[in-house]
Structure 1
Amino acid sequence: MDDKKQISSPVVLVTGSSHGIGLEVCRQLARAGMTVLLTARDFSKASIAAQQLVEEGRDVRPYALDVTQDDSIRALATILEQEFGRLDVLVNNAAAYVDWTEKATTADLQAAHAILETNVFGAWRTTQILLPLIRKSQHGRIVNVSSGAGSHGDQQFGLTINGGSVASYGISKAALNALTSKLAAELEGTSILVNAVCPGLTATAPGMEAMGAGPVEKGASSIVWAVNLPDNGPTGGFFRYGEPLPW
């Protein structure tokens, strides 16, 4: 029996999804009846996280994936081709963070390079390598998880707010928004929609509620909205909770 012919539900891959917003995105998509591919650099972490959702009766499958390594992505692409023959949705969620006090003038540029490697080039190379599988979908979606930190329009954490702090993270997310625009322009006229989404400040660590962070469920829902866009939905945009966000 050819297993990949038996998967009628949308096949969705979420990078960096063994915890936090990524895990909640997997939960919400699985509850909606999708086949969810939960990934992490460490397969054991992906497996433990996926098992939580499997025990809820969901179709969630763990895979190892390091978005900074071409070989890791290509190996997974080969597996997905064999198991499913396509990929309907790619959620580029994997991200690296910096100390909130980091400034552009004093930043450790080796550390900044590592941030860009994950947040920009990780999403870029993952999209490039998995795009042939997404092209085989009738309703392809690429969702780049961005941040208001990469926006001129965010009045709390934007590029010109807070004295320029969190520099490399904000720069990386602004670049991710630009990548989203370029991909959407290139893929215009195909069945693939490409959008960037900000989940808003989300309580993914202790104490963040005091900063006004919202629940993980709400942040994840912002991402899930872009996954569920209709075929005539927007592409090339930047959104938060379904509303356009300037960047």
Structure 2
Amino acid sequence: MSENKRHGRRIALVTGGNKGIGREIVAQLARLGATVLPGARDKARLEDGVAALRADGLGVHPVGLDVTDPASAAEAAEWIGREFGWRDVLVNNPAITGGRPAEPSAMDLDRLRLVFETNVLGVLTVTNAMLPLLRRSASVVIVNVSSSVGSLQRAAGGEWAAMPASATYVPSKTALNSLTVQCAKELTGIRVNAVNPGWCATDLNGFQGQLSAAEGAETVVQYATIGPDGPTGGFFGADGVEPW
């Protein structure tokens, strides 16, 4: 077992941790003193992405993990359990857009399935695989990285009412918000929240966001490090509670 468990450092898994907001979440948690396990399908590329953090002496240990493959999630959980013994923080950060056009009338169902397999089912796959490890810790936090576009209130009559119709990314984030609530209801003693990092400039949107990836990551890290009296079953952003 690694030194991290004996020294009592918090251990965090961040899926989609090889680039964009995910990589910034990894960096910020590591700088706060956590041992961070960034997960992604391409472990070699992931190693390159976190090389600078490791060179600075931060506790970052990449793990190969395909969120759409239950066997991959189970293998990752086995490795983490063997090397670190438990897990305190899980940040579910997988996201694909499904490309364009995304209108419901033009949607190819295989493309829609791929988006939901990654953005929704992938979150549940990883969460369930890691639950035995999470339950070994006395203080556990799960953060599902969502988006303001997943808000039904905003889509129906709020700031996103004029947004073009989307049958892929947008409803996947709405479903993720609902899944978050259901997980929080079941997993008593574990704080489970959805967090909107804001409109960040990443390759997901062609780098057109108003915030940097680091700024968006700050909000996620805030809720990934909440104390035992923190909220659960909520949807939050930089300004607090987000509308459902």
TM-score range (shorter-chain normalised) is: over 0.9
Query: What residue number does 2:26 align with?
Result: 26
CA change 1:91–1:207 in 2 (3 A) is closer
Match of 1:199 in 2: 197
Instruction: Give the match for residue 229 of structure 1.
Output: 226
Amino acid at match of 1:234: P
For the pair 1:15 / 2:15, whether they are aligned, the reply is yes
Higher mean displacement: 233-242 or 17-26: 233-242
The alignment partner of 2:192 has SS state of: strand
Partners of 2:44 and 2:187 lie apart in 1 by 35
Letter of the 1:218 partner, please give it: E
Runs of 5+ in structure 1 lacking a partner?
none
Residue 69 (structure 2) pairs with residue 69 (structure 1): yes
Given that residues 67 and 123 in structure 1 are in contact (C-alpha distance below 8 angstroms), is that contact kept between their aligned partners in structure 2?
yes
2:87 alignment counterpart: 87
Deviations 1:42-78 (A, max 9, x none): 1101111121211222110111000000110111111
The Cα of 1:81 is off from its aligned counterpart by: 1.0
CA distance in 2, matches of 1:203, 1:2: 36
CA contact (8 A) 1:222 1:242 kept: no
Higher alpha-carbon deviation: 100-109 or 72-81: 100-109
What is the match of residue 211 of structure 2? 214
Q: What is residue 125 of structure 1 aligned with on the other side?
A: 125
The number of residue pairs the alignment matches comes to 241
Partner in structure 2 of residue 238 of structure 1 = 235
Q: TM-score, normalised by structure 1?
A: 0.92
- Residue 4 of structure 1 and its aligned partner are, at CA, apart by 6.1
Give the conservation status (yes or no) of the 8 Å contact 1:153–1:245. Answer: no
Structure 1 stretches of 4+ moved >3 Å: 1-5, 153-157, 205-209
Cα separation, 2, equivalents of 1:36 and 1:144: 16
